[in-house]
Structure 1
Amino acid sequence: MNNSTQIQLVVEEDIATLSFVPPSSKPPTLDLEVLQQLELRVEEIGRQQPRVVLLRSTSDRFFCVGANLTALKDIDEHTIAPWVLAGHNVFNQLEDLPMPVIAVVNGYAMGGGLELAMACDLIFASEEAKFAQSEASLGFIPGWGGTYRLAKRIGNSKAKFYFYGGHLLDARQAAEIGLVDLVAAPSELESDVHSYCQRVLTTNPNAIAQFKKILNDQDRTSRDENANIEASHSVSCLQDPDTKQRLHDFLAKKGRK
């Protein structure tokens, strides 16, 4: 039995769906194996060139909650930088796809899971979705572009406010501050996603690709430099005795469950 999240890719009628499939009763999580799977699926999408990409979870309760426990146990000040840079590499490839990429969020998008959603062009959420950039509770900073993409979506001051306090936002609150682009009742989300995709399919794919490239290229230098900055500061976090103690306590608590 595989205890790691798997990623499925289905392409139908010019719409690609990337689905995170967690182990039974567990939330989708990220480790190096999952990041490698995601990279392979993104490369396949690049070859097939669908018109729209949907990124979602098969779990009703969770979109993705970030790093899994095994990954956290193996992280120290010597391994954190390669881990950060690996995530940046894959998330940037996802962001650089030439077609619209939409995160469809039911349930919780936490930590690295929120960073994954923000690497998409748009975030469509169920009213039951929850969002948090929650790393500070463990003594970490966001390591997969969260310091960059959160600020780009909601502005520097709001990014500071919500990260400092570790706020858990519901979908309506997230939409009000610009983190989420569309909110729908759980029974209506799929219909709204489908309707939006159908509208995209009526447009010119080259025009969309060129528009996306112009917008994304405006700040590529900052985004790419941010990877090394987050890696360096993540090492500093793990050299902090308080972070080490927080991580130890978190893992010990999870191990008792």
Structure 2
Amino acid sequence: MSMNKTQVTYEVENGIGTLLLVPPEGKPLTLDGEVMVELEQAIAGLAAEAPRMVWVRSMSERFFCVGANLNVLQNTNEETIVPWVMQGHRVLNMLEDLSMPVVAVVEGYAMGGGLELAMACDLIFAADGAKLAQSEAGLGFIPGWGGTRRLAGRIGVAKAKYYYYSGAMIDAPKAAEIGLVDFVGSKEEIEAERGRFSTAVAANNSNSLTQFKTILNQQERAARDENAAVEAFRSISCLQDPDTKQRLHDFLTKKGKKV
């Protein structure tokens, strides 16, 4: 069956959950409102089944996720941006709030909202060829799904400013060096580490892991809720900027010529 958008599925096997991003045929994985609904439903399903841990993966080796798709960008304006931002916050907060350990496995590119998705997980394992970027400034936007808070939380405020201001692509070894990812290896090494980590998690008391995670997450809950409102408000400001409008027009025109 032909697919023209990213799809989201999940499964639980032997107490281990997998949330899987399935790419459109011949295209990178991107996000829109329908995909976010599927993601929300998958997260709710995992919460109900309560596996010992969850892995978040893409079926593509070239792309983990590159953020919003063209349809979203074409229809983004001062009226639609706030619901889009708040939907993303709600869904990624659900992912962050899953009671069990959650680990993203990033192969290929994780950019913009795709990186925000990975950072909503407890840990990030990256293939040695992975590349990550909080890249919204190139179009005149800001991270809209908690990326400002989560990026700074992972690598510190100064480095978050450096990589956001520059829009620099971060390769996996550098990402590990600065704390953006937690494990880097070849495909085989990642699979081996997944096995070791899953076994270690399963051997521990699941309630104690849940309590530990809950305590840490609750310490940031107020800041997280405030961050959602701030990102939504600042996103409106970005869209009112004539330079952002021009950048978005140029980007969409260039993409349209390639189709």
Q: Secondary structure at the match of 2:24?
A: coil
The answer to whether the 8 Å contact 1:172/1:183 transfers is: yes
State how many pairs are aligned: 257
The answer to whether the 8 Å contact 1:127/1:172 transfers is: yes
The answer to whether the 8 Å contact 2:16/2:53 transfers is: yes
The answer to whether the 8 Å contact 2:3/2:25 transfers is: no
Cα distance in structure 2, aligned partners of 1:196 and 1:184 = 14
Following superposition, the deviation at residue 27 of structure 1 comes to 1.0
Aligned equivalent of 1:128 = 129
TM-score by length of structure 1 reads 0.99
Q: Secondary structure at the match of 1:187?
A: helix
Query: Percent same amino acid at aligned positions?
Result: 61
Q: Root-mean-square deviation (CA), in Å?
A: 0.7
**Which amino acid counterpart does residue 186 of structure 2 have in structure 1?**
A
Aligned equivalent of 1:28 = 29
Aligned equivalent of 1:209 = 210
Following superposition, the deviation at residue 178 of structure 1 comes to 0.5
Following superposition, the deviation at residue 224 of structure 1 comes to 0.9
Cα distance in structure 1, aligned partners of 2:216 and 2:204 = 18
TM-score by length of structure 2 reads 0.98
Aligned equivalent of 1:219 = 220
Q: Secondary structure at the match of 1:7?
A: strand
Whether 2:183 is the aligned partner of 1:179: answer no
The answer to whether the 8 Å contact 2:22/2:60 transfers is: yes
Following superposition, the deviation at residue 240 of structure 1 comes to 0.4
Aligned equivalent of 2:159 = 158
Aligned equivalent of 2:10 = 9
Cα distance in structure 2, aligned partners of 1:254 and 1:105 = 25
The answer to whether the 8 Å contact 1:128/1:186 transfers is: no
Gaps in structure 2 of 5+ consecutive residues: none
Following superposition, the deviation at residue 4 of structure 1 comes to 1.3
CA offset digits 1:17-58 (Å, max 9, x no partner)? 111001111111111101100111111111100011000100
Q: Secondary structure at the match of 1:144?
A: coil
**Which amino acid counterpart does residue 234 of structure 1 have in structure 2?**
S
Aligned equivalent of 1:19 = 20
Aligned equivalent of 1:149 = 150
Cα distance in structure 1, aligned partners of 2:225 and 2:75 = 26
